[in-house]
Structure 1
Amino acid sequence: MTIRKAVAQCQELCKSGKLQDTHQLVRWINTKEEHASKLMHTIAEYFLAQKVKKEQLSEHDYLQVLALHHAVLVAAMKTKQSSEMAPVDALDKAIQALRPVYEKK
């Protein structure tokens, strides 16, 4: 949600051309990139390194779970590189696709 808000704020602030708005724009860009980096860090170092255990899954399920995590990583990386909402929508979709892996059954 923060990444989405940051992109929306950036799009709005860049319209004015005022120096103060440019400063705020930079802060929003930094916030967007920080949150995307935190998400990537959490997926890689917590979920992939600690939660995904190959020995507990079939080979097919293991590869699917890896692909779901990878999709979140790629989508988060793309939000860092873009100032558009489409990558944010893709990130939301990737997170929603990953959610069932961690929901209690």
Structure 2
Amino acid sequence: MNLTRKVLLLFLVSFINGCAFYPKVEADQDYMKKCQMVTRKMTLESKSLGAFDCSDTTPELCLVVLIGVPAASLVVSGSVVLAGNTLHWMEYHGRCEQGLVKKALSQF
């Protein structure tokens, strides 16, 4: 592995070190009542897990906590947010007057 890849890997590991990701529903969605929507827009939030001391644990456990938990929570929560926002986008464009489907139908 060359030096550039090692530096990039170190940067990525330190960037996600000690975080957990979770989906959050946006609170301010004014158009939902007007369009009578069921789904809600979601965002991906992160929360620090705090300092994790690896001195009293095995290296494997430390690796799982520092890399596995953030990576797994990012993949799972990111998938939930992506699927939820896709459904939300489809519902918005199908129900709201400003949506692409309503605009296209009004042009006929």
Higher helix share: 1
On whether the aligned pair clears a TM of 0.5, the verdict is no
Q: TM class by shorter-chain length?
A: 0.3 to 0.5
TM, length-normalised to structure 2:
0.37
Larger strand fraction of residues: 2
Give 1 or 2 for the bigger CA radius of gyration: 2
